Amino acid sequence: MVRSSGTSFEQDPNKSAINIVTLPKRNISIAKVEKMQKIEDNIRRIQLELKQNEVQLIVVSKYREISEIQAAYNSGQRDFAENRVQALLEREESLPKDIKWHLIGHLQTNKVKYIAPFIHVIHSVDSLKLAEEINKQAIKHNRQIDILLQTHVAQEESKFGIPPENFNDFVEALLENKLSGIKIRGIMGMATFTDNTAIIHHEFDRIETLFKTIKHRYFQNDASFNELSIGMSGDYRIAMEHGATMVRIGSAIFE
């Protein structure tokens, strides 16, 4: 009998033909368990690194299977993020109710009502119209929803957000409207997707400077304006050098 890659080739001594006998394949569940363990290990390793810098981990669960998200949850992680409302609703329905859900993608005003009952933080507020709708839906549900104001400094035009030079007008418009259903907690931004670390440093420095300027000018006496959401899997360590308080990590955990 000859074995090769999980298959046995059994020769009948009275015949020249070879009978192929399939042996049991490696149990697929073992590979899955190993994958889940790797996710948990990655979470704990990154959490330890971030804890030393007092930075909060937001696990980006987009495109991941429920079992993968559950593995991250089992490691103790409770803050997760999606960038699409439909996926967020599906996840919220299927996973433990003590998860704190963050919305990090572009949000259309007509979809705010679907997430208003449970969303923890909306990172991507980039217009007065959107802020007003979040405020409206929050009041309907007797809530105050935490939001971050999104700025745009990256080279990609496809990314959303308010340019730093227009940020003062944006903040002043929000404050003038006295939107009681929202709480402005800080700023979110993204750097250009590039291997050039000098560009990433420069863009994160711009966001950090903007955060400090807005804090000093409009929220100096508001201790709750204290969140700077910058940094993802490829650049979160650079983000920590520029004052990040939240980092949004996906592939470094699940892949």
DSSP the chain: -EEETTEEEEE-TT-SSEEEEEPPPPPHHHHHHHHHHHHHHHHHHHHHHHHTTT-EEEEE-TT--HHHHHHHHHTT--EEEESSHHHHHHHHHHS-TT-EEEE-S---GGGHHHHTTT-SEEEEE--HHHHHHHHHHHHHTT--EEEEEEB--SS-TTS--B-GGGHHHHHHHHHHTT-TTEEEEEEE----S-S-HHHHHHHHHHHHHHHHHHHHHH-TT-TT--EEE---TTTHHHHHHTT-SEEEESHHHH-
Name the band, by pLDDT with cuts 50, 70 and 90, for residue 8.
very low
Please check whether residue 201 lies inside any domain of the structure: yes
Name the band, by pLDDT with cuts 50, 70 and 90, for residue 157.
confident
Q: Of 2 and 189, which is predicted with more confidence?
A: 189
pTM as predicted: 0.87
Q: Tell me how many domains the chain contains.
A: 1
Name the band, by pLDDT with cuts 50, 70 and 90, for residue 33.
confident
Q: Tell me the mean pLDDT in the region 189-211.
A: 97
Please check whether residue 11 lies inside any domain of the structure: no
Domain that holds residue 69: 28-254
Please check whether residue 2 lies inside any domain of the structure: no
Please check whether residue 16 lies inside any domain of the structure: no
Which domain CATH number covers 185? 3.20.20.10
Please check whether residue 97 lies inside any domain of the structure: yes
Task: Give the mean pLDDT of the chain.
Answer: 91
Please check whether residue 33 lies inside any domain of the structure: yes
Please check whether residue 19 lies inside any domain of the structure: no
- Dump pLDDT digits (tens) for 219-254: 999 999 999 999 999 999 999 999 999 999 999 999
Please check whether residue 140 lies inside any domain of the structure: yes
